[in-house]
Amino acid sequence: GLSASAALARRPSITGAELRSAVPLPPPFQVPLPLPPVLKPVATSDGTDRYEITQRETTAEILPGVRTPLWTYEGTFPGPTIESRRGRPVTVTHRNTLPVPTVVHLHGGRTPADSDGYPTDLVLPEGWQEPHQQMGHGMQPGHGMRDPRAVVTTLTRSYTFPLDQRPTLLWYHDHRMDFTAPAIWRGLAGLQIVRDDAEDALGLPAGPRELPLMIADRAFAADGGLAYPALDPTLRVRPGVHEPYVAGVLGDVILVNGAPWPVHEVDAARYRLRVLNASNARHYELEAVTDDGRRLDLVQIGADQGLLAAPVTHRLLPVAPAERYDVVVDFSGVPVGGLVRVVNRLGTGRTRDVLAFRVVREAADDSRVPATLSADLPSWRPSDAVRVRDLAFRVGRMGGGHGWLIGGLPFDPARSDLTTGLGDVEVWRLVADVHHPVHLHLAGFRVLSRSGRPPLPHDAGLKDTISLRPAESVEIITRFDGYRGRYLFHCHNAEHEDMGMMANLEIT
């Protein structure tokens, strides 16, 4: 059952860390921005919404005229969006018809440990007999599933999400040990939105003026398939690698909601843009530029874990892998017919462009951005902390090659790394060598400082992913509550994660 792997295994050409597509690419701002379909519950009973998702292969036309095989949730990339309400539980039953085992994690969810998608809690495809043998392709010996008895397997799996948490944009994606990066790259990512009455009452732009934007880079092989180097036996992306992949895998095509450099027609009015960087490794610094070179204000109203206390205005918004930014942009000052390009200042050539908005009509606008957005942000102080930990995220020597390490160690599902008590407040001092977007499961955190200086403007609010910049040390403060059990923290550069930059956190 590895036909899809074989079909996708092609040898892309590589320039630096960026894969070059081998098919013609469309000009920017021609393809309309798609909006992922909203998933309908199969049942709503006992105050719980029940959903079913089949993970399956499909072929889609992402680039005009090019057929691309994908791994999907319910046949679309991005997968269908799950719309949910704070405190109203959701169960999602996943059935895996893909050629490989999978794991589902709801990123940013406050989820009991047994539904959090631990990387060895596998959902197997039917007929999959010996997971530990067949998982061997491309896997680093001595790293990973040394003991197949540690692997928990099921043919379908129901995940329960209580969603007792602040409203925000979450995303669900694959989290299988050692294989997360190629699985997300092939399409296993979708959105889940949590809302509540307080947020609905604020009067923020809504309906067609609220747009989810899942930004992700990809590269396309000559046969139209997604190029990914780990599937090419001549290119190894595991530890012991290859310098080009220290940065992770980058593509030369920027997709938003699965479309290349799309364009969206808008009213001359305020829009709420719910930005997710779902790229494996690419960082963005976004700005919105008009035809006459003006940069529009990006008014940030929310972070990974929901609304800020008050809006923060940016001209340039850095977005690391897995981070979400909730941003309001006002197109009312743009003349009808004008184009607003959203560009990535860190990109070069074609990867500078992300998407564009074409202002097509004047329109009434009764939306607003209140000066006070939320009053329920946690205000932990360092003096509340019962523990301070130092955690270094570094590429180090390991065996004959390199390892992507936390505190000097690569991920081992059998090892307990940190133990904390339910309800404990902790300060973590995170240190990086190269760029690492660090993500903590279950608990949101606040940024206290960056290399001894105050946090940056975009560090505001409650976060679950923090961009550690090269040679930087960042202090965060968090509180572990809600559920006991085994959780994870890791680098969300998906290649770094697969190469071992992940650790266990036990809440007792």
Residues of this chain, 364-423, that bind ligand C2O according to CB under 6 A? none
Beta bridge partners of 465: 439
327 or 502: whose CB is closer to Cu ion? 502
Tokens representing 282 are 């690419």
Q: Report the phi/psi class of residue 410: left, alpha or beta, with left for phi > 0 and alpha for psi in -120 to 50.
A: beta
Task: Give the one residue of 175, 218, 238, 479 binding ligand C2O; rule: CB under 6 A.
Answer: 175
Element (H, E) at 322: none
Q: Which does 105 bind (CB under 5 to 8 A by kind): ligand C2O, Cu ion, none?
A: ligand C2O
**C-alpha closest to that of 16 among 255, 225, 261, 252:** 252
205 or 437: whose CB is closer to ligand C2O? 437
490 lies in the binding site for Cu ion (CB under 5 A): no
Return the residue nearest ligand C2O (CB atom).
Answer: 107
Under 8 Å CB-to-CB from 333, ≥6 apart: which residues? 268, 296
Task: Give the one residue of 190, 493, 494, 502 binding Cu ion; rule: CB under 5 A.
Answer: 493
Task: Give the one residue of 490, 495, 500, 505 binding ligand C2O; rule: CB under 6 A.
Answer: 490
252, 346 contact by CB (below 8 A): no
Under 8 Å CB-to-CB from 449, ≥6 apart: which residues? 455, 474, 475
322 lies in the binding site for ligand C2O (CB under 6 A): yes
The single-letter DSSP state of residue 353 is E
**Nearest-approach distance from CB 488 to Cu ion, in angstroms:** 14
Residue with token string 């169960």: 91
441 lies in the binding site for ligand C2O (CB under 6 A): yes
Give me the half-sphere count of Cα atoms (radius 13 Å) on the Cβ side of residue 427.
14
173 lies in the binding site for ligand C2O (CB under 6 A): yes
322 or 505: whose CB is closer to ligand C2O? 322
104 or 385: whose CB is closer to ligand C2O? 104
324 lies in the binding site for ligand C2O (CB under 6 A): no
**Nearest-approach distance from CB 296 to Cu ion, in angstroms:** 31
157 or 436: whose CB is closer to Cu ion? 436
501 lies in the binding site for ligand C2O (CB under 6 A): no
The rounded Cα 156 to chain-centroid distance in angstroms is 23
491 lies in the binding site for Cu ion (CB under 5 A): yes
439 lies in the binding site for ligand C2O (CB under 6 A): yes
Q: Which does 492 bind (CB under 5 to 8 A by kind): ligand C2O, Cu ion, none?
A: ligand C2O
Element (H, E) at 150: none
Report, in angstroms and rounded to the nearest whole number, the Rg of the chain calculated over CA atoms: 22
Q: Which does 436 bind (CB under 5 to 8 A by kind): Cu ion, ligand C2O, none?
A: Cu ion
* Amino acid (one-letter) located at 359: V
**C-alpha closest to that of 248 among 437, 469, 464:** 437
Q: Which does 282 bind (CB under 5 to 8 A by kind): ligand C2O, Cu ion, none?
A: none
Helices (H), 407-502: 494-498
Q: Rule CB under 6 A: which residues touch ligand C2O?
A: 105, 107, 173, 175, 322, 439, 441, 488, 490, 492
